[in-house]
Amino acid sequence: MKHADIVIAGAGIIGLTLARELVSQGVRVLVLDKEDRPGKHASGRNSGVLHAGIYYSPGSARAATCLAGNRLMRAYCKERGLPLTESGKVIVAKTEAELPVLRALYERAVNAGAEVSLVDQARLREIEPHARTVEQAIHSPLTAVVDPKEILKSLRADLRASVLAEVRLGVTALGPGGRRVLSTSAGPVEYGALVNACGAYADKLAHQHGLGLRYVLVPFKGVYRKLRPEAAHLVRGSIYPVPDPSTPFLGIHFTRSVYGDVYIGPTAIPAFGRENYGVLQGLDAEAPEILWRDAVLFATNPTFRTVALSEPRKYLFRHFFADAAKLVDSLRPEDVAPSPKAGIRPQLVDVVANTLVMDFLTESGEADLHVLNAISPAFTSAMALAPVLADKAMALAG
Ligand SMILES: Cc1cc2nc3c(=O)[nH]c(=O)nc-3n(C[C@H](O)[C@H](O)[C@H](O)COP(=O)(O)OP(=O)(O)OC[C@H]3O[C@@H](n4cnc5c(N)ncnc54)[C@H](O)[C@@H]3O)c2cc1C
């Protein structure tokens, strides 16, 4: 039987940054992932934006880690020579009715210590000449973009270079296999502590350990389109709308990637599989159960209903384009091209309180820690979250 001080299931950004943190503290770790390479799911399919601490409720774990994570990740990219563009972002108001929300967002960001300014239209033109707003916009110079896959690759290389770490790919965590033993597709593994960083499947592994029973993860699909190269000059950095504060999503936005392509999206459309990236791809036996859960949420949860009513229409180009065109002047339908890029955001639902959980959430047992809701901005936050998770895991390992 293999043994490690701490076994981490899931080699996404949460698993890999945690492993790196533990190794830096002299702990022996084993990281397992069911896929043949890291980044096949959320951590390799996101917008690559390092958020800058604007949106999150005061006192939340998201607020506590976003800005610090942004700084750590930017420093890591600079130190390792990884792609990083510190292009900033603007948040624009589409209507006059959005102005009070924009200003409240600005106040919240300032109180959280984010470096932001409220700019008028003239200043907005200097920052993003084609962004469209009513009266004012928020400017966030610390928002940056990275290549998430390159970061994952680099973190894996860091672990490979350490005698304390082992990353085993193509190994699925199956559930408890005895006291401090994890059953896996490659046989049992003994641990001091187990960390479940399984992303979209984290609730499943937690349930098998008798934890997180009041929660389920509901998948939302994010699809993107792209500006054609001739139109890419319309966006310099990132242009975001004022978000609907009642939903966990930020609304479709424009982001110039580190390679110069400008992506538009992602949507947040209820999906029928945890890995349902295409129309049929990733649909499995769980689809009817997910469909039923969505139907119940639709009937009973106003936030879910808002998302479910507004998002699926964005599959249709004219609706997607209409939303996008509200953010950028002189955008024409022919400027927008399809893109194969798609990701799934697993969103935790508290089925007892019937609410969407709006913050990171962990639950722990005797020797197991479960990261249940690594929602956005978990990619940005990961390096600041890692020491917090490491402390918890080490306390369990004894
Ligand atoms: C479309 C989209 C856009 C986003 N944009 C941003 C953004 O711009 N900025 C930002 O900060 N955040 C963004 N996010 C959120 C961010 O990507 C996630 O919060 C983050 O990647 C979650 O990381 P994770 O390690 O928990 O999950 P994942 O990356 O999903 O990793 C989980 C890993 O666990 C593995 N796994 C699952 N089950 C098992 C098992 N039983 N055994 C072994 N391995 C298993 C999977 O293969 C996977 O590799 C976005 C997300 C999406 C989907």
Same domain, 158 and 132: no
Q: Quick check: CB of 15 below 6 Å from ligand 1?
A: yes
Per-residue pLDDT of the chain (398 residues), as tens digits, is 678 899 999 999 999 999 999 999 999 999 999 999 999 999 999 999 999 999 998 899 999 999 999 999 999 999 999 999 999 999 999 999 999 999 999 999 999 899 999 999 999 999 999 999 999 999 999 999 999 999 999 999 999 999 999 999 999 999 999 999 999 999 999 999 999 999 999 999 999 999 999 999 999 999 999 999 999 999 999 999 999 877 888 999 999 999 999 999 999 889 999 999 988 788 888 999 999 988 888 888 888 888 888 888 888 899 999 999 999 998 999 999 999 999 999 999 999 998 899 999 999 999 999 999 999 999 999 999 999 999 999 999 97
Q: Which residue's alpha carbon is nearest to atom 31 within ligand 1?
A: 12
Q: Calculate how far, in angstroms, residue 359's C-alpha sits from the geometric centre of ligand 1.
A: 15
Q: Quick check: CB of 250 below 6 Å from ligand 1?
A: no
Q: Calculate how far, in angstroms, residue 103's C-alpha sits from the geometric centre of ligand 1.
A: 31
Distance CA 13, CA 152 (A): 7
Q: Quick check: CB of 34 below 6 Å from ligand 1?
A: yes
* Total of domains in the chain: 3
Same domain, 193 and 100: no
Last residue of a domain, one of 310, 328, 350: 350
Same domain, 179 and 70: yes
Q: Calculate how far, in angstroms, residue 155's C-alpha sits from the geometric centre of ligand 1.
A: 15
Length of the chain, in residues: 398
Same domain, 320 and 294: yes
Q: Which residue's alpha carbon is nearest to atom 3 within ligand 1?
A: 46
Helix (H) or strand (E) holding 337: strand 336-350
Same domain, 179 and 79: yes
Q: Calculate how far, in angstroms, residue 8's C-alpha sits from the geometric centre of ligand 1.
A: 14
Q: Report the residue among 43, 205, 209, 240 best suited for mutation to probe ligand 1: largest number of ligand atoms under 8 A from its CB.
A: 43
Last residue of a domain, one of 141, 167, 182: 141
pLDDT confidence of residue 1? 65
Here the CATH number for the domain that contains residue 298 is 3.30.9
Same domain, 127 and 206: no
Place of tokens 């890999």: 16
Distance CA 280, CA 286 (A): 13
Q: Calculate how far, in angstroms, residue 118's C-alpha sits from the geometric centre of ligand 1.
A: 32
Which atom number of ligand 1 is nearest to the Cα of residue 344? 53
Sign of the dihedral defined by the CA atoms of residues 180, 183, 186, 187, in that order = positive
Place of tokens 């559930």: 175
Task: State pLDDT tens for residues 85-101.
Answer: 999 999 999 999 999 99
Q: Quick check: CB of 156 below 6 Å from ligand 1?
A: no
Q: Calculate how far, in angstroms, residue 130's C-alpha sits from the geometric centre of ligand 1.
A: 32
Q: Which residues span the domain enclosing 333?
A: 216-350
Q: Which amino acid is at 297?
A: L
pLDDT confidence of residue 181? 97
Same domain, 182 and 256: no
Q: Calculate how far, in angstroms, residue 221's C-alpha sits from the geometric centre of ligand 1.
A: 13
Distance CA 344, CA 148 (A): 15
Sign of the dihedral defined by the CA atoms of residues 69, 64, 213, 45, in that order = negative
Separation in Å, CA 221 to CA 262, 334, 380:
19, 24, 20
Same domain, 394 and 304: no
Same domain, 209 and 223: no
pLDDT confidence of residue 326? 95
Q: Quick check: CB of 23 below 6 Å from ligand 1?
A: no
Distance CA 232, CA 230 (A): 6
Q: Quick check: CB of 9 below 6 Å from ligand 1?
A: yes
Q: Quick check: CB of 154 below 6 Å from ligand 1?
A: no
Here the CATH number for the domain that contains residue 174 is 3.50.50.60
pLDDT confidence of residue 247? 82
Same domain, 115 and 178: no
pLDDT confidence of residue 222? 93
Contact yes or no for 276/219 (Cβ under 8 A): yes
pTM: predicted TM-score of the whole model, two decimal places? 0.96
Same domain, 110 and 76: no
Burial class (CB in 10 A: 0-12, 13-18, 19+), 300: exposed
Contact yes or no for 115/121 (Cβ under 8 A): no
Q: Calculate how far, in angstroms, residue 84's C-alpha sits from the geometric centre of ligand 1.
A: 20
Same domain, 152 and 293: no
